[in-house]
């Protein structure tokens, strides 16, 4: 049984993530303990709310070092929603105490140019033909709740999946052992369970 740590740093959506990962057969721990994070087969980085508040929580919990150390060791990490956004250089989201992102991918997360924001609901995605995360669910819909997104060109070696709401934006990224989704797989029913199962099998 694969061991997955859901990183506990004060962000929301952690309980639904734990339940979904347990549903698909993972041994799940909710913690920020460095030894448990390092020993896990996979690290799930959640994120709900304001980019800068999430980054502040990550920094306070030592999340930057935990994520950096895992990636340096070639150990898988999956970020979700704002847990994906924090992998970029930064965000234009308003904040009284702006925090830089983790800088794993270039570019800024920007407010969606759409008539209605937030983007809330089910949308189809456009994965690349080489996808691992979306294998077998390429035509499915996933559940989004967000007002900001990345639209950056990510460079070679990074596989981007796209969706659209007013404009085309990055819905997921597969970058060797670092992967992320803008949508919530843990709230995306059977399609989300299938995606997380694909991730679990890759660990």
Is 186 among the catalytic positions?
Answer: yes
* The two structure tokens encoding residue 159: 């596989």
Is 194 among the catalytic positions?
Answer: no
- The pLDDT of 89-97, averaged and rounded, is 95
pLDDT per position as a tens digit, 62-76: 999 999 999 999 999
Is 167 among the catalytic positions?
Answer: no
CATH number of the domain to which 113 belongs: 3.40.50.880
- Active-site residue (options: 93, 140, 159, 186): 186
- Active-site residue (options: 52, 146, 165, 184): 184
Report the 10 Å Cβ neighbour count for 104. Answer: 19
pLDDT of residue 22: 98
Calpha distance 196→142 (Å, rounded): 12
Burial class, 114, CB count within 10 angstroms (exposed 0-12 / middle 13-18 / buried 19+): middle
- Active-site residue (options: 81, 159, 165, 174): 81
pLDDT per position as a tens digit, 150-161: 986 666 678 999
Domain, as residue range, for 65? 3-202
Calpha distance 150→107 (Å, rounded): 8
The pTM (predicted TM-score) of the whole model is 0.96
| Number of structural domains in the chain | 1
pLDDT per position as a tens digit, 114-151: 999 999 999 999 999 999 999 999 999 999 999 999 98
């Amino acid at each position: 049984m694969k061991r997955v740590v859901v990183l506990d740093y004060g962000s929301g959506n952690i309980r639904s993530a734990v339940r979904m990962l347990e549903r698909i057969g993972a041994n799940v721990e909710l913690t920020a303990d460095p030894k448990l994070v390092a020993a896990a087969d996979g690290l799930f980085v959640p994120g709900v709310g304001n980019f800068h508040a999430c980054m502040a929580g990550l920094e306070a919990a030592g999340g930057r070092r935990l994520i950096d150390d895992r990636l340096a060791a070639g150990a898988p990490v999956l970020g979700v929603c704002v847990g994906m956004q924090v992998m970029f250089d930064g965000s234009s989201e308003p904040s009284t105490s702006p925090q830089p992102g983790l800088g794993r991918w270039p570019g800024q997360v920007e407010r969606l140019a759409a008539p209605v924001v937030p983007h809330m609901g089910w949308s189809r995605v456009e994965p690349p033909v080489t996808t691992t995360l979306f294998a077998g669910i390429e035509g499915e819909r996933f559940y989004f709740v967000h007002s900001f997104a990345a639209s950056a060109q990510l460079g070679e070696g990074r596989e981007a999946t796209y969706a659209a709401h007013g404009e085309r934006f990055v819905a997921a990224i597969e970058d060797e052992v670092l992967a992320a989704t803008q949508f919530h797989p843990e709230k995306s029913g059977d399609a989300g369970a299938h995606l997380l199962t694909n991730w679990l099998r890759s660990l």
